[in-house]
A and B are shown apart, each in its own frame.
Chain A
Amino acid sequence: MIQYFQDFFHRHGTALSIFLLVTVGFWIFLMIVLPQAFMLDFSFRFNLPPAKVGGPEDVYTLSNYKFMVYGSAGNPDSFNVIDVTVFFRTILAAIFVTVFDLALCYPIAFYLAQVAHGGWARLMVLSLIVPFWVNEILRAFAFRIMFGSNGVINSFLITVGIVDEPIDLIGANIALYAGLGYAFILLMIFPLYNAIESLDKNQIEAARDLGSPWWRIHWRVVMPFAKPGITSGCTMVFMLSAGALAAPQILGGPSSLWFTQIIYQWFNTGGNWPRGSAYAIILLVSCIVLVLLMMRLFKVRLGEIGR
């Protein structure tokens, strides 16, 4: 460790090294560690009026976490049905969005990285990026119109004659999944692209020459090689989907809540910051644990993601 710092100083010179260490340290501490520490602290406290903060009643408690699991004291059920269901539904939906994005983006990334070249590839990348100049809210509302009962999709389905009545795409959450899936497409494509691009074309040809059908080439050669990219893409998409707020707010069906909306309600309308913090921390920790478990399952080391 000391050796590492000596090398670091030696390589960049004292002034630059100090600058780098101080700014990065400052960034990590002030922007990441400190606010999260406040949230963590909050989550273990009672929701007291300002006058009592710091007073004798301001002690640590697990009540906010207990509330998430068991609900209020008068709850007739054995656990907090609404919040727990919403929590698991959110996690499952985020997993679904992630898998959907992976299935959608892998072929695109493979095509861009290994098949397309020159101007055509650049054009494709451009046409993937430019739509994201449109801001999130606008995009979400545009999706709402598109998936509405008079929207393009329903009119198309009716014209072609697949259905007679418009389908409630928003109520069925299809609009929400499509919106979320689309929102994070780039975060999936680019890590995949990066990983696949560095794969030697000869590897693919060698597998083909040895008789392999295309699916086995992907399964045995391309995907193992792209595993770090797949992991970082999936991690980002999963974390951001589980933590999304605007898309569920706008595109979600009337009966379906996203867990972030509950958190938002505690902070905002509920005015209960400690409880909101506890809920947010539950979401954060669960997501991290899930991601680490998945990485364990697929034998990816944390260091590989950074490649």
Chain B
Amino acid sequence: MSANVELDDVWIRFGDFVAARDVNITIEGGEFFSFLGPSGCGKTTILRAVSGFLAPSQGHVRIGGQDMAGIGPNKRPTALIFQNLALFPLMTVWENISFSLEVRGAGKAERRKKADELLELIALPGQGDKFVNELSGGQRQRVAIARALAAEPKVLLLDEPLSALDLKLRQHMRTELRSIQQQVGITFIYITHDQGEALTMSDHVAVMSAGVIEQVGGGTNVYDHPESAFVASFVGENNLFSGKVSKVSADRATVETNVGNLTAATPKRSNGAKLKRGDDAYVFIRPESLKFANGSNSFDNTIKARIVQQEFEGNLWQVFLDAAQGKHIKMSMVNDGQSLGYDSGSEVALGFPSELAVALPRGPLAAE
């Protein structure tokens, strides 16, 4: 019992301020879909438009093919999990969970039964008679999920539900959420500013910036083939080199940067725009795509740099380097049990294959 969600040409304005601009997205029934973007980019606003607390200024929201205009939040087949959970403090856990059944006029026995089933699902059996403030953060989290699921929504909307938890619990809840989603099989729309969360859980991710959907795609697609400078700088870590395009071929561009000429892939962009000679451009290369260039390998790009610092993180070495004109570069290497072979202060050559780098038109970047 899942439903697809279509946002068709949706604009949301608050006075002169545009919180969502021309959003066009189709979310398939039963998928785990994330909106990823920095604070204030309009994620909650979009979720409120889907749940019905806010009417789009323009455009349509369709759920299961049906236009939702004029249908209130209490009549939509959606359930929302709030950023602060918004559990009812004066009700017991089981009353919280079965509130939507109470609304439908279900008898006490039926409500209790449903609550107990859901408590089973969220691995909190026998905790129904407690009050919410007697639970831990992670347990409250699960109660909020159970309360939303009890309404038997076709679409579950989650507004950064894990942001209040500590790192360990957050990672644990990610897996749990994903498995709950697979068990119940309904559409999950998840909002987060944490890219790790979005990438691990989602079938598809929409990356947002300032009210605009920058890119929609699978996690690997968004990470490996960013289509805009914003996405490249927001999702994961990236080294950035700016310059002018000096040469373009079918799927490559060469950019003159202050560390030399760099050749990188030019992704097919959904808006069809292509880099041309003379354009201002950025080349992005991930820290893990950089290698030391030595006699045994050869790359179509090399950069000369000096090692400034090396940090050991157990599974990874983080190497910080300075290239020409003080350009900082970061490089990550898997710890394979061998030493790096270079000391801080060594002059080295870094290499990377052009297909692992992307050249994109200059544009707004994510704030650090």
Contact = CB atoms under 8 A, between A and B. Distances in A.
B90 interface: yes
Contacts of B104: 211
Given A221-B88, A224-B90, A213 B74 contact: yes
A212 interface: yes
A205 B90 contact: no
Contacts of B91: 220
B84 A209 contact: no
Contacts of B253: none
29 contacts: A200-B86, A202-B82, A202-B83, A202-B86, A205-B80, A205-B82, A205-B86, A206-B86, A206-B88, A207-B88, A207-B99, A208-B72, A208-B74, A209-B51, A209-B52, A209-B53, A209-B74, A209-B78, A209-B80, A210-B151, A211-B100, A211-B103, A211-B104, A212-B74, A213-B103, A216-B102, A220-B88, A220-B102, A221-B88
Interface string B38-58: 000000000000011100000
A206 B82 contact: yes
A220 B102 CA distance: 10
Given A205-B53, A224-B90, A225-B90, A210 B84 contact: no
Contacts, number: 60
Contact of B74 (A203, A211, A220, A224): A211
Contacts of A221: 88
Return the 5 tightest CB-CB contacts between A and B, nearest first. Answer: A202-B86, A206-B86, A210-B100, A211-B103, A224-B90
Interface in B63-83: 72-75, 78-80, 82-83
Contacts of A200: 84, 86
B279 to A, nearest CB: 46
B147 interface: yes
A208 B102 CA distance: 13
B82 A210 contact: no
Interface of B: 51-53, 72-75, 78-80, 82-84, 86-91, 99-100, 102-104, 147-148, 151
Nearest to B51: A209
A239 B120 CA distance: 50
Contacts of A205: 53, 73, 80, 82, 86
A135 to B, nearest CB: 41
B104 to A, nearest CB: 7
A210 B90 contact: no
B147 to A, nearest CB: 7
B162 to A, nearest CB: 17
A212 B82 contact: no
For A208, A211, A221, A224, the residue with the greatest tally of chain B CB atoms inside 10 Å of its CB is A211
Contacts of A206: 80, 82, 86-88
Nearest to B99: A210
B344 to A, nearest CB: 51
Nearest to A223: B90
A56 to B, nearest CB: 61
Interface string A100-136: 0000000000000000000000000000000000000
A220 B96 CA distance: 11
Contacts of B78: 209
A210 B86 contact: no
Contacts of A210: 74, 79, 99-100, 103, 147-148, 151
B73 A208 contact: yes
Interface string A191-229: 000000000101101111111110010001100110000
Contacts of A211: 74-75, 100, 103-104, 151
